[in-house]
Amino acid sequence: MKPSTALSVHHQLHDKQVGEFITNLPHLHHSKSYPILLRSSNQCKYTFVENTCFIEQNRNSNSEYGKRARSPHAEKITWMVMGTKWGLIIGDSIEESCQALEDDSNKSKFVKLNDKTILHIHHSLHNSNCK
């Protein structure tokens, strides 16, 4: 997936409501649409595009990203998760790339996580009591 496609998913996820669809994605060779769903556990919107889960930051989380998402100048924060690989989009910037994204040299970038980091990200997204 190209970074511009991921950014389009990110913006549509934040700008649309649950039940609407992510559409018109650049650089995909089909015209599929992807439903915006709601996680019942934390009320965060999410969608799956080409085996990558895009999920908005849990604003109720006490993590750094939760605080940034609910600040007076709230930032649009989206996590991309593909297995144990992850990526992070904040505003118009891809902060970290996951294996689903291609860079300009057509190589994939990813960050391999250890179990402790995976649990921290999990709790940051799902647990409003995460410190």
Query: Is 18 within a domain?
Result: yes
**Mean pLDDT computed over 53-57:** 95
The kind and range of the H/E element at 64 are: helix 64-70
Inform me whether the pLDDT recorded for 48 exceeds 90.
yes
Inform me whether the pLDDT recorded for 73 exceeds 80.
yes
Percent of the chain with pLDDT over 90: 43
Query: Lowest-pLDDT range, 69-73, 110-114, 121-125?
Result: 110-114
CB 112 within 8 A of CB 45: no
Per residue in 63-72, pLDDT tens? 999 999 998 8
Query: Is 113 within a domain?
Result: yes
Query: Is 89 within a domain?
Result: yes
Query: Is 70 within a domain?
Result: yes
Query: Is 88 within a domain?
Result: yes
Query: Is 131 within a domain?
Result: no
CB 66 within 8 A of CB 57: yes
Query: Is 57 within a domain?
Result: yes
Q: How many domains does the chain have?
A: 1
Domain that holds residue 13: 3-126
Per residue in 80-90, pLDDT tens? 998 888 899 99
